[in-house]
Structure 1
Amino acid sequence: MTAAAVAGQALAQAPAPQPIPTITPPAPTQPGPLAPVARAPVSLPTLSAAQARQLATLIADDEVAQGLRYTRRTDLDRLDGAALVRAALDHARAIRSGRLMAEDFQRDWGIRPPAYDPLPDFAAAVANDRLSAWVRALPPPYVGYDALVAGLARYRRIAADGGWPTIATAPTFGSRGAAVATLRARLAAEDPQVAKSGDTFDAALLDAVRRAQRRYGLNPVGTVGSQTIAALNVPVERRIRQIMANLERWRWLPPRLDQKRVQVNIAAAVLTAFDGDAPVMSMKAVTGRPGNETPMLISKINSIVINPPWNVPTSIATKELWPKERANPGYLKRNGFRVIDNGDGSKRLQQASERSALGRFKFDFPNDFAVYLHDTPAQSGFSRFDRLASHGCVRLEKPEELAKLLLKTTPEWQPDAIDAAVAAGKTVRARMAEPVTVYLLYWTAFASADGQVGFRDDPYGWDAKLAATIERRSQVQAQATT
């Protein structure tokens, strides 16, 4: 098994909320546009009649299996040889580098897949009559991706069988009746451990409710409350499209993995640090609330600011802090804010390090979104299951532990020196001897090796938009290649 596959397996099997997958970042902080789809290669290989029939079936099957289409394409077996070859090359690009084109990306989807030219491998597959092996080799080399493909197949089967029942009434532990039977049938649709028949809310069903709550990122108390009912009542068709969106995000990832990396799952609000192919640290995070979304991006953490002051973004100062000062004069001074004249008639706010909303540690990495990882004095936020509450930056539950891990190879910043700098209270920038790649990604569906899928809410509405774009782009590209 390759290092990439091992790492993907570690990601897929980690306890919920799952850590996110990893990538090697491109050189610029703002990714450039995707390479355009080649409309007509200079020299297309010629297919035999048998190869044409096989290729049409392979593509039609794979588009559905890999989540590029919700329904199966039916026109491939009517294409002439050249059109079918163009369709195969387009399919290969979509599986290897994602279905989206450059204009389909939102600005805060700050990641772009690398360009991929499928023609050389495809021509070799035609020449050696190995089209099936060529198609199988296209997907990203991650066990987590393969597990989600298996999960997609499971949810397609559930949909074909009629989906699952809707929970109208919340039964309680120890109760009996039709509401319990409905709950049992609903849980059994996703959970093979649940007995499909029975109308008693017994201990086994209580455990099943808790398993479902863990899969959905809810507090596993076993009580069927409003959040649990809402998660259970999401239609299977929407879950399928949610999986499709997350498969596309996997396809944006190149196969090389950095050995040392920090990963944040924005939707689950979890940070995981990796050393080699194993997770070595995990902690809760607080990520951006809807309206202040944390962007997806890739960068390098190159330094850690100890006792950082907070240079308040203009938007926060304008919308939140200046109004508080006007309503309650002296608010800014009491909370440690300095008013700084910019020299052009405007003013900005800075909060002193001893009162800073950034706490004692700020992890800097270049990006075009002005976001970073940081400590926070507001520790109560980490006790919540819903932790999307920041202005876009990522607050950390255990920033000191992360700082000491990342500075482990920097001789002048060993734990005693870090402790002394924190205690001194002065602002100091600790430059890392070995910068570490940071990935901020948005994962709302992930699967174990057996195809059991865990889901998170789609707080930013990105899943629905991405799934719709995948289907629309598949239609457009189908017309372009025929």
Structure 2
Amino acid sequence: MNIIPARKKAGRLGIRSIARFLVAAAIVPATPALAQEVQIPTAPAPVPDRMVPPPMQVALPTLTPAQATQLVELIEKDAVAQGLRDSRAVSLDGLDNDALVRAALDHAHAVRAGRLDEADFQRNWAMRPAPFDPLPGFIAAVKQDRLAAWIASLPPPYAGYDALVAGLARYRAIAAAGGWATLASGPAVKFGASGSGVVALRKRLSLEDPQVAATGDRFDTALLEGVRRAQRRYGLNPTGLVGAGTLAALNVPVEARVRQIKANLERWRWLPAELQKDRVQVNIAAAVLTVFDGDAPVLSMKAVTGRPGDETPMLTSQIHSIVFNPPWNVPSTIANKELWPKERANPGYLARNGFRVIDTGDGGKRLQQSSERSALGRYKFDFNNPFAVYLHDTPAQAGFARFDRLASHGCVRLEKPAALAKLLMTGTPEWSPEAIDTTVAAGKTVRGKLASPISVYLFYWTAFATPSGQVSLRDDPYQWDGTLASKIEARSARQAVAAR
């Protein structure tokens, strides 16, 4: 679901020993994760997706006629494969040397670092691609006559990105073959049913799942398992019952799924050239947390992430400490919107629920909930960020039983915070599992500092794939896919005008 392995093998953090017994209880999904209808337009060549002119003091290399022919073929083919363009209908043939070189440099920048400029990023998309100058590598490739190798080196160096590229090709092939028909609404279809509805269901499922036989009119055991696999791919409750929710997911047009995959490929390009091999990783859209030890997933758990309107931001940081038995310093937005009105409507509400009213010293007041009643539970994982979000425990365990787990005010609630705390503290001798248990049981607020901070990444993946190209899809709860597509479209339009 949310596993993002790098292409290269990694070293080990030294948490393998404790990981052995933790991973037995973990939910370890099979690959990275992602959402809904997106419109990413095709920018007409030679108008670049994102104009990045090379430094003026560096002369552009001169291509041989053979290199120019090869480069046109490479760019046109790669632009389609990487999801930058839907077809090779618009050719780069006929461009002069400098125009073709600039088109190549822009293609490289778009593949490696994406197509947005700084002004296009929303504040809560707090993950930015690293600066990338493609010119030095291109000059070397021209001199060494290694243009194909240069093109192949451009995509983000992650197996998850490659898998999603393969998934894009699969869904494009389905679209080219005519896509899939809309399944008729009506009573839920279940095991043991037969008839035309089952025939249509089989045909639809077989297009995404080769294990499902495309023909037959019986809802047998094999089809039941196929339905459950589809429900898992879409993040639905795998009951095997084909009701309204499953029908809605199956009836999203294949063209929308293609656009959705392309939006998620764009987000991959914002990642650093190398993720820290030992890290905590959250897929916001799928509401899942995974811990990596040397780039291998060792612990995974359900999470509750921000509901629409209180979005969990995309960001990268480092967990530097864990607060045991934390009080909750209530953000003013939550206090003003939810808690003060409850106190006015029902005097004594705050005191009954463990809240203290604290004078701020400037005439204002703030709320703090005591550790005994804290909405943060017994564990809070702190990392620096401008959004005041963190990972934390919660006394509200019922939320983890849901398949739609976007319900927080923006922080990430954890299903197994004790397991995470013990795993992260493995390299901190004074915080053995026994010491952690004793501290939590005592009830006193204590901050434990990690001997070595652990990288944490909050991603928004609404589409992710296995190495075979099998794609899992999620809703786009924040509508960030559509927003991203609109920004790309607007930038491409401005560039087209500027190029005339």
TM-score for the superposition, normalised by structure 2 = 0.88
1:152 matches 2:168: yes
Secondary structure of the 1:402 match is helix
Q: Which residue of 1 aligns with 2:46?
A: none
Q: Which of 90, 102, 107 in structure 2 is aligned with 1:74?
A: 90
Match of 1:220, as an amino acid? Answer: P
Match of 2:104, as an amino acid? Answer: A
Q: 1:261 to 1:278 in 2, by over 3 A?
A: same
Q: Which of 372, 385, 402 in structure 1 is aligned with 2:390?
A: 372
How do residues 82-481 of structure 1 correspond to structure 2 at under 5 angstroms? 82-169=98-185, 170-474=188-492, 476=494
How do residues 27-42 of structure 1 correspond to structure 2 at under 5 angstroms? 37-38=52-53, 41=56, 42=58
Matched-pair contact (CA < 8 Å) for 1:272–1:281: yes
Cα distance in 1 for residues equivalent to 2:269 and 2:89: 21
Matched-pair contact (CA < 8 Å) for 2:189–2:243: no
128-137 or 157-166: bigger deviation: 128-137
Structure 1, residues 20-45: CA drift from partner, whole Å, max 9, x if none? 69xxxxxxxxxxxxx98225653101
Matched-pair contact (CA < 8 Å) for 1:68–1:471: no
Cα distance in 1 for residues equivalent to 2:309 and 2:435: 39
Q: Which residue of 2 aligns with 1:45?
A: 61
Q: Which residue of 2 aligns with 1:5?
A: 7
Uncovered stretches (5+) of structure 2, i.e. residues with no partner: 11-26, 35-49
Match of 1:276, as an amino acid? Answer: G
Matched-pair contact (CA < 8 Å) for 2:62–2:97: yes
Match of 1:294, as an amino acid? Answer: T
Cα distance in 2 for residues equivalent to 1:257 and 1:415: 28
Matched-pair contact (CA < 8 Å) for 1:90–1:481: no
Q: 1:15 to 1:198 in 2, by over 3 A?
A: farther
Structure 1, residues 375-417: CA drift from partner, whole Å, max 9, x if none? 0000111111111000000000111111111111112211222
Structure 1, residues 277-297: CA drift from partner, whole Å, max 9, x if none? 211111110000000000000
Cα distance in 2 for residues equivalent to 1:258 and 1:4: 10
Cα distance in 1 for residues equivalent to 2:105 and 2:243: 49
Matched-pair contact (CA < 8 Å) for 1:87–1:478: no
Matched-pair contact (CA < 8 Å) for 1:16–1:215: no
1:464, distance to aligned residue in structure 2 (A): 1.9
Secondary structure of the 2:229 match is helix
Structure 1, residues 44-82: CA drift from partner, whole Å, max 9, x if none? 011122222221221122112101223445141132111
1:359, distance to aligned residue in structure 2 (A): 0.5
186-195 or 70-79: bigger deviation: 70-79
Secondary structure of the 2:426 match is coil
Matched-pair contact (CA < 8 Å) for 2:319–2:454: yes
Matched-pair contact (CA < 8 Å) for 2:159–2:467: yes
Uncovered stretches (5+) of structure 1, i.e. residues with no partner: 9-13, 22-34
Q: 1:214 to 1:461 in 2, by over 3 A?
A: same
Cα distance in 1 for residues equivalent to 2:278 and 2:126: 21
Cα distance in 2 for residues equivalent to 1:345 and 1:447: 54
Cα distance in 2 for residues equivalent to 1:17 and 1:337: 42
Q: Which residue of 1 aligns with 2:21?
A: none
Amino-acid identity (%): 69
1:97, distance to aligned residue in structure 2 (A): 1.2
354-363 or 198-207: bigger deviation: 198-207
Cα distance in 1 for residues equivalent to 2:66 and 2:235: 48
Matched-pair contact (CA < 8 Å) for 1:56–1:76: yes
Cα distance in 1 for residues equivalent to 2:377 and 2:181: 47
How many residue pairs match? The answer is 462
Cα distance in 2 for residues equivalent to 1:80 and 1:475: 23
Secondary structure of the 2:175 match is helix
466-475 or 259-268: bigger deviation: 466-475
TM-score for the superposition, normalised by structure 1 = 0.91
Secondary structure of the 1:122 match is helix
Cα distance in 2 for residues equivalent to 1:324 and 1:193: 54
Cα distance in 2 for residues equivalent to 1:454 and 1:222: 17
Match of 2:86, as an amino acid? Answer: Y
Q: 1:81 to 1:43 in 2, by over 3 A?
A: same
Cα distance in 2 for residues equivalent to 1:7 and 1:337: 49
1:314, distance to aligned residue in structure 2 (A): 0.5
The CA RMSD over aligned residues, in Å, is 2.1
Matched-pair contact (CA < 8 Å) for 1:296–1:442: yes
Matched-pair contact (CA < 8 Å) for 1:20–1:263: no
Structure 1, residues 125-152: CA drift from partner, whole Å, max 9, x if none? 2222221221111111111111110110
Cα distance in 2 for residues equivalent to 1:7 and 1:390: 35
Q: 1:58 to 1:478 in 2, by over 3 A?
A: farther
Structure 1, residues 222-269: CA drift from partner, whole Å, max 9, x if none? 000111111101111111111111111111122323232111000010
Match of 1:354, as an amino acid? Answer: E
Matched-pair contact (CA < 8 Å) for 1:69–1:474: no
1:345, distance to aligned residue in structure 2 (A): 1.7
Secondary structure of the 1:243 match is helix
